[in-house]
Each structure stands twice: as structure tokens, then as C-alpha cells.
């Protein structure tokens, strides 16, 4: 006959209880892969936007000019502007066509200049 009491039976718990709020290795892996899948899906959805321009038609015709020593963006724009045109507007068009951050040019650099209309 056994002499085990009820108190001894209650304190001996054969199933280990994990503290709440902690993840196992498998749980961390599931959370990581789930988060990765969500980020990839969002990247695909946001990155698949149209790259079409709002303007219809063909791109504007351009000429390629090589910058010579002493050339300035204003001089090149003045040469490309019609007699009654706005040189400042042409400077902005050249900067936009060539993705220039500033008006600084380097000798030997090739620029796209809008062709005569």
C-alpha cells in the first residue's frame, strides 16, 4: 500500500508548463516566415504600379551634345532656344531630360538637348 498524500500528487506535474508570452523555436520560425511572406506580397503589390507617363504620344526628339571646356548649361540652353523663346525654361527642360541635380557640367559629358521644333 502506498503512502502518497493528495498534496504530493498535486505538486508533481508530469507535463511541463511553458511560461506565457514566449515562443518556441518553431513558433519563431513560423512568425518570421509569415512576416516575410507578407512583406514580399506587399512589395509585389506596391511595386507593380504602372510606369506609363501621363503624356500621350512619342518622346520629344533630342540631339546629343558633348560638353566642351568652358560650356555652361545656360549657354547650351541659349543655343537651343528659338529666338523668341525662354532660355530659363530651356535650362529646366535640359535638366529634366538629363536628370541633372544642378547646373554643373563636366567637359566630355554628353547631354540630351531638345531638337528644334
How high is the pLDDT of residue 19?
64
d(CA 87, CA 75): 9
- Retrieve residue 96's grid coordinates: 529634366
- Identify the CA nearest to 62 among candidates 83, 86, 93: 93
Distance CA 7, CA 10 (A): 5
Taking only the tens place, the pLDDT of each residue in 48-101 is 776 666 666 667 788 999 999 999 999 999 988 888 888 999 999 999 989 888
pLDDT tens for each residue of 14-50? 666 666 678 899 999 999 999 999 999 998 888 877 6
Q: Which residue blocks in the chain are alpha helix, DSSP H? A: 6-11, 25-47, 73-80, 87-98
Show the cell assigned to 65: 551634345
Which pLDDT score is estimated for 22? 83
Which residues 6+ apart lie within 8 Å of 23 measured at CB? 31
Compute the average pLDDT of residues 98-114.
89
Task: With both helix axes pointing from N to C terminus, report the angle between 73-80 and 87-98 in degrees, rounded to the nearest 10.
Answer: 110
Question: Average pLDDT in the 98-115 region?
Answer: 89
Q: Alpha carbon of 102 to those of 51, 62, 99, 108: distances in Å?
A: 25, 20, 9, 17
> What is the percentage of the chain residues whose pLDDT exceeds 70?
74
Amino acid at each position: 500500500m502506498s503512502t502518497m498524500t493528495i498534496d504530493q500528487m498535486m505538486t508533481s506535474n508530469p507535463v511541463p508548463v511553458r511560461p506565457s508570452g514566449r515562443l518556441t523555436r518553431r513558433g519563431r520560425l513560423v512568425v518570421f516566415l509569415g512576416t516575410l511572406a507578407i512583406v514580399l506580397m506587399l512589395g509585389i503589390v506596391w511595386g507593380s504600379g504602372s510606369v506609363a507617363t501621363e503624356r500621350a504620344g512619342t518622346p520629344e526628339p533630342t540631339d546629343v551634345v558633348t560638353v566642351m571646356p568652358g560650356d555652361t548649361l545656360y549657354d547650351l540652353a541659349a543655343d537651343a532656344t528659338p529666338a523668341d523663346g525662354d532660355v530659363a525654361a530651356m535650362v529646366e527642360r535640359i535638366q529634366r531630360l538629363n536628370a541633372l541635380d544642378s547646373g554643373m557640367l563636366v567637359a566630355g559629358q554628353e547631354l540630351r538637348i531638345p531638337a528644334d521644333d
